[in-house]
Structure 1
Amino acid sequence: MHVPVLAERCIELLGPALVPSPEHPQPVLVDATLGLGGHSELVLERFDGVRVIGIDRDPAALQLAGERLARFGDRFVAAHATYDQIRDVLAEHTDHGRAQAVLMDLGVSSMQLDVADRGFAYAQDGPLDMRMDTSTGITAAELLAQASERELRRILLSYGEEKFAGRIVSAIVARRDTDPVVRTAQLADLVRDSIPAAARRRGGNPAKRTFQALRIAVNAELEVLAHAVPEAIAAVTVGGRLVVMAYQSLEDRIVKRAFAAGATSRTPPGIPVELPEHRPYLRLLTHGAEVATESEQAANPRSTSVRLRAAEITRDREEKAA
């Protein structure tokens, strides 16, 4: 069973929004990236009055998390969706369509990395799939077979920041007709053989950036996240909280910009009066992005690259039309 990242810090940040009140007698937390349900389990154990709605696009994760959290009865409900559909999920599972807290733990889950057949891991051989929801979309192998050379180069540069993207893509395209790349070991070997020997000896596995880029492209992760953060902000009641954990700079940049925009007044310079709709609708709870302690990184390697940001909702963002 995986160990949830920054679990105690998440509980500390979310906690004030999860205390029952006359207005919200049964607070709702949306675990927008349920995975195996580690964070949800802790919330349900620590806060007796809380109800958790777990969202995940991966049917396998929903099944495993559902089994893990079955002991909490109707205090937990699972929803098969992408987390940018958070307001639709809340409309279906709550009376008022709002939550008091949202948690997002981004990126690939431990379960997806550990199962070779899912195709996420460059360290073990398996079919090159990489879909978080295996019931829809094209696989990474199909993307490599169908996308143009220019598009593949863009994906590796934009989503993997891979400086040897040209070499790697040229090697993929050169063998598409005779020996297409359809397995993770094939791709890992191709990447290793495509980059200079000196570059192989630093920065970890040389295939890491290529695998990251393809995974992001296959699952449209950045597009979903860019839509999901404002949707989550709009879904949380005033006084509620949003906690987001990102594991690479492209994700963290999207979260940082959305939080900064919400925490900044939109009153034009020189205007002496701040209109209500120009007031910030977020209060930042973290100074920049928080990282895991050295002890947690040593005990839980997945926490090494985490960047946590949190904010409190100070007003209804959509009241600006009033």
Structure 2
Amino acid sequence: MHIPVLLEEAVNALAIKANGIYVDGTYGQGGHSRLILSRLGKSGRLIVFDKDPAAIIVAQSVVDSRFQAIHSSYAGMQEALQLLGVDQVDGILLDLGVSSVQLDKPSRGFSFRHDGPLDMRMNSNQGETAMEWLATVSEAELKEVIKTYGEERYAGRIAGAIVKERVYQPIQTTLQLAEVVTAAVSSSYRAHRLHPATRTFQAIRIYLNRELDELSAVLPQCVELLKTKGRLAVISFHSLEDRIVKRFMRKQASANTLPRKLPIREQEKYLHTQQQLKIIGKKICPNTDEVAVNPRARSAVMRVAEKLAVDDQ
């Protein structure tokens, strides 16, 4: 069952205008989008993105003249909206990471809780599967991916174990990979609350789907797309995502302070640091009641920012 994380908080953060134009960059199963639509008037508009074909099938079942679904990564948001004749919007929501539906479906290969083919692609129609990548990746690259994207201290051991295992047999299923990872780490680590394979699965998924690259690509587009006082709300589920969002918002919310007596031409180099956003409140996390109902929400963090008027920059 899919339960939208920070549902009311996220939609409230957008400060919905009845006749505004809004974007949900990660439609998923449509929980946030349905609430946004319920708050829009007859002239309002909601445009949603998702690169998962299964999510787009769900989105296309929505019968509403105010609603439009685009089968694409949000990394191409600005270009896709321009093709629709939309240059600016009133709010953008990004709910990052993998959805509950993707995790719960064994055939997608995102989770080791059920055995399934080692796929991990968010767009199941294109790209290399985790099984295909693990069959050829070098031990050095694999170690770096697990260390960088999984923040895994046993990255070297795990990479070595995977490469050794594939000599004897191809690693084709989620449980097979999980078993290799578990056997590679120390017994004290195996007793930890977090399953030993969690960070490795996270790392491979993030790398294959270019999740951090796409996040870094879309954030500047969001700033350009937002109207004055338009809101950007981003829900992250692990520190790597949240770090990118936090640093971006802080940079865009920083005043343009130039060195004293700087020559006029040199000032042009600093124009890109002009203040664009105002951070709205502190980070928002799910309360204990939400986590009790939806344990997967426990790591969620939402940050919100508002586009400044030119005179405020």
Q: 1:84 is matched with which residue?
A: 75
2:68 counterpart letter in structure 1: V
SS at match of 1:35: coil
Query: What is the CA-CA distance between 1:100 and the residue it aligns to?
Result: 1.0
1:171 counterpart letter in structure 2: A
Alignment TM-score, normalising by the size of structure 2: 0.92
Contact 1:19–1:47 (CA under 8 A) maintained in structure 2: yes
Query: What is the CA-CA distance between 1:270 and the residue it aligns to?
Result: 4.0
Identify which of 295, 298, 308 aligns with 1:301.
295
CA distance in 1, matches of 2:289, 2:222: 31
Query: What is the CA-CA distance between 1:286 and the residue it aligns to?
Result: 2.4
Alignment TM-score, normalising by the size of structure 1: 0.90
Matched, 1:283 2:255: no
Alignment of 1:17-96 (within 5 A): 18-20=16-18, 26-49=19-42, 50-67=44-61, 69-70=62-63, 73-93=64-84, 95-96=85-86
Query: What is the CA-CA distance between 1:266 and the residue it aligns to?
Result: 2.1
Contact 1:30–1:99 (CA under 8 A) maintained in structure 2: yes
SS at match of 1:175: helix
Q: 1:9 to 1:126 in 2, by over 3 A?
A: same
CA distance in 2, matches of 1:81, 1:32: 9
Q: 2:305 is matched with which residue?
A: 311
Q: 2:111 is matched with which residue?
A: 121
Q: 1:270 to 1:113 in 2, by over 3 A?
A: same
Contact 2:20–2:40 (CA under 8 A) maintained in structure 1: no
CA RMSD of aligned residues (A): 2.0
Contact 1:172–1:180 (CA under 8 A) maintained in structure 2: no
Contact 2:280–2:306 (CA under 8 A) maintained in structure 1: yes
1:28 counterpart letter in structure 2: I
Matched, 1:10 2:1: no
Query: What is the CA-CA distance between 1:280 and the residue it aligns to?
Result: 1.3
CA distance in 1, matches of 2:14, 2:180: 44
CA distance in 2, matches of 1:36, 1:122: 22
Identify which of 160, 163, 171 aligns with 1:173.
163
What's the CA shift string for 1:4-52, capped at 9, x where partnerless? 111111121112xx314xxxxx311110011111000011112224211
Contact 2:165–2:180 (CA under 8 A) maintained in structure 1: no
Query: What is the CA-CA distance between 1:269 and the residue it aligns to?
Result: 4.2
Query: What is the CA-CA distance between 1:64 and the residue it aligns to?
Result: 1.5
Contact 1:87–1:98 (CA under 8 A) maintained in structure 2: no
CA distance in 2, matches of 1:78, 1:114: 23
Following TM superposition, the consecutive aligned residue runs of length 4 or more in structure 1 with deviations greater than 2 angstroms are 46-50, 269-272, 274-279
Q: 2:247 is matched with which residue?
A: 257
CA distance in 2, matches of 1:4, 1:10: 10
CA distance in 1, matches of 2:45, 2:67: 6
Contact 1:226–1:254 (CA under 8 A) maintained in structure 2: yes
Contact 2:21–2:90 (CA under 8 A) maintained in structure 1: yes
Q: 1:292 is matched with which residue?
A: 286
CA distance in 1, matches of 2:291, 2:99: 17
Structure 2 residues not aligned, in runs of 5+: none
Contact 1:29–1:100 (CA under 8 A) maintained in structure 2: yes
Q: 1:102 is matched with which residue?
A: 92
1:292 counterpart letter in structure 2: P
CA distance in 1, matches of 2:166, 2:274: 54
Query: What is the CA-CA distance between 1:316 and the residue it aligns to?
Result: 6.2
Structure 1 residues not aligned, in runs of 5+: 21-25
